[in-house]
A and B are shown apart, each in its own frame.
Chain A
């Protein structure tokens, strides 16, 4: 892996949220509750400029995400621009709304990798979680087409109470589909997932079984498929090194062009975000108030400020610290050293089989 440079770090990854439009309604969607409308979306020419500026800044990989990126009619043009800028391009798709014809055109335009989300290994449950009938069948069909075109495929499986017992089946499904990589991603509670936390939260015993199972699956399938895991942090002892450290490894551009240190950063009040419409990306990375707010370790309070792990996990997640304690500078309460750690245990214990609040543009609570 690339070592962090001295002084101002160089970002390696850019998450390009091309649109917030999406046919699916997954209740754990990481998009903000207040979604950017279509009329505000950046055009392809602006994305091309952003990709060139990103490459010059050090970015190597661009993750084309959303919403559903295939909702953009100019997606092929955008992928071609990423390749032209010298970036490694990763399409993060639900597969719904992405035709075989468009996929072939994307491959020709230089797309490097495709990631397809799968909601469950059982069709009825998968479609219920996605809030979209027929989604599961569509995903399987498009995955086959990705493999036929010899594009590398990752299956992304978000894990929560409704499917946590089927991790083995999800890995088998990824293998059967021809994926070289599968992500077993426990839900992270931001955006829509935070709104659905009690309905998604698994029990501690389920999580412990799941972790042991992933270790076993890794050993069993070593060399056949790469199994990456996103840990269930409400049950962790230490916090995750969120986005590899604030303003250190990656940046996120919203559909409307605001540049964020992470996709949930707008939930922290008082941060000033700059837009690619008004600023060059290098200026935003170096000087925008939002990126400077929590870069490095000077902002930390105890117990983080003197903790030997502060250069490993950077105090955890700022958005989670704010969401659970009301103070964005606090230690992520997931950490067992946090004086507020009891909150996390209390919240994890709240598990209710309530109906999902599906992520829909029309249901955006803040829209009129």
Chain B
């Protein structure tokens, strides 16, 4: 691919959501979560699924990070970095609305 790989900036007060046509679903046949979009399928690992399940358009990025940091007893900065990277790259591919 020749597309630039600059991920979109992710604001702490953004309320990310999956647009219509992008769905996170559990697939028994594949033994995990898959993110489905027009003509594209991505395997979502456990961490990505935890993040994406919270992208309902209601919670802010900051709130999602707080919740995951508490749930996994992990450093907030590390969770923030993971969340920002995932959401930025998905928004870039039009798989997420920020």
Q: Which residues of A contact B (CB under 8 A)?
A: 1-3, 10, 12, 55-61, 86, 88, 90, 112-113, 115, 150-152, 154, 180-181, 215, 218-219, 222-223, 225-226, 228
Q: Contact at A113–B41, with CB atoms within 8 Å?
A: no
**Nearest residue, chain B, Cβ from A54:** B29
Q: Contact at B4–A150, with CB atoms within 8 Å?
A: no
Q: Given the known inter-chain contacts A1-B43, A86-B25, A113-B21, please indicate yes or no for A219 contacting B38, CB distance below 8 A.
A: no
> Given the complex of chains A and B, what is the CA–CA distance between A92 and B34 in angstroms?
22
Minimum CB–CB distance from B50 to chain A (whole Å) comes to: 19
Which residues of chain B have C-beta atoms less than 8 A from A218's C-beta? 2-3
Q: Contact at A58–B29, with CB atoms within 8 Å?
A: yes
> Given the complex of chains A and B, what is the CA–CA distance between A349 and B28 in angstroms?
50
Which residues of chain B have C-beta atoms less than 8 A from A219's C-beta? 2-4
Q: Contact at A2–B41, with CB atoms within 8 Å?
A: yes
> Given the complex of chains A and B, what is the CA–CA distance between A219 and B6 in angstroms?
11
Q: Contact at B94–A2, with CB atoms within 8 Å?
A: no
Q: Report B23-57 residues with CB < 8 Å from chain A CB.
A: 23, 25, 27-30, 34, 36-39, 41-43
Q: For chain B, what secondary structure do more than half of its interface residues adopt (helix, strand, loop), or is it mixed?
A: loop
Which residues of chain B have C-beta atoms less than 8 A from A86's C-beta? 25, 27
Minimum CB–CB distance from B70 to chain A (whole Å) comes to: 31
Q: Contact at A152–B21, with CB atoms within 8 Å?
A: yes
Q: Contact at B36–A151, with CB atoms within 8 Å?
A: no
Which residues of chain A have C-beta atoms less than 8 A from B30's C-beta? 2, 10, 58, 60
Minimum CB–CB distance from B75 to chain A (whole Å) comes to: 30
**Nearest residue, chain A, Cβ from B42:** A1
New contact pairs (13) apart from A1-B43, A2-B42, A152-B19, CB-CB < 8 Å: A1-B42, A3-B43, A12-B41, A55-B29, A88-B36, A112-B36, A152-B21, A180-B38, A181-B94, A215-B2, A219-B2, A219-B4, A225-B94
The 8 Å CB contact of A151, one of B21, B25, B27, B92, is B21
Q: Which residues of B contact A (CB under 8 A)?
A: 2-4, 8, 19-23, 25, 27-30, 34, 36-39, 41-43, 92-94
Q: Contact at B2–A1, with CB atoms within 8 Å?
A: no
Minimum CB–CB distance from B44 to chain A (whole Å) comes to: 10
Minimum CB–CB distance from A116 to chain B (whole Å) comes to: 12
Q: Contact at B38–A90, with CB atoms within 8 Å?
A: yes
Which residues of chain B have C-beta atoms less than 8 A from A55's C-beta? 29
Q: Given the known inter-chain contacts A58-B29, A226-B94, please indicate yes or no for A2 contacting B34, CB distance below 8 A.
A: yes
Q: Contact at A56–B38, with CB atoms within 8 Å?
A: no
Minimum CB–CB distance from A42 to chain B (whole Å) comes to: 23
**Nearest residue, chain A, Cβ from B8:** A223
Q: Contact at B92–A223, with CB atoms within 8 Å?
A: yes
Q: Given the known inter-chain contacts A90-B39, A181-B39, please indicate yes or no for A10 contacting B4, CB distance below 8 A.
A: no
A sample of 12 inter-chain contacts (CB < 8 A) reads A1-B42, A55-B29, A56-B29, A60-B30, A152-B20, A152-B22, A152-B38, A180-B21, A218-B3, A219-B3, A222-B3, A228-B39
> Given the complex of chains A and B, what is the CA–CA distance between A228 and B38 in angstroms?
11
The 8 Å CB contact of A113, one of B28, B38, B42, B92, is B38
> Given the complex of chains A and B, what is the CA–CA distance between A61 and B4 in angstroms?
28
Q: Contact at A181–B34, with CB atoms within 8 Å?
A: no
Which residues of chain A have C-beta atoms less than 8 A from B41's C-beta? 1-2, 12, 60-61, 88
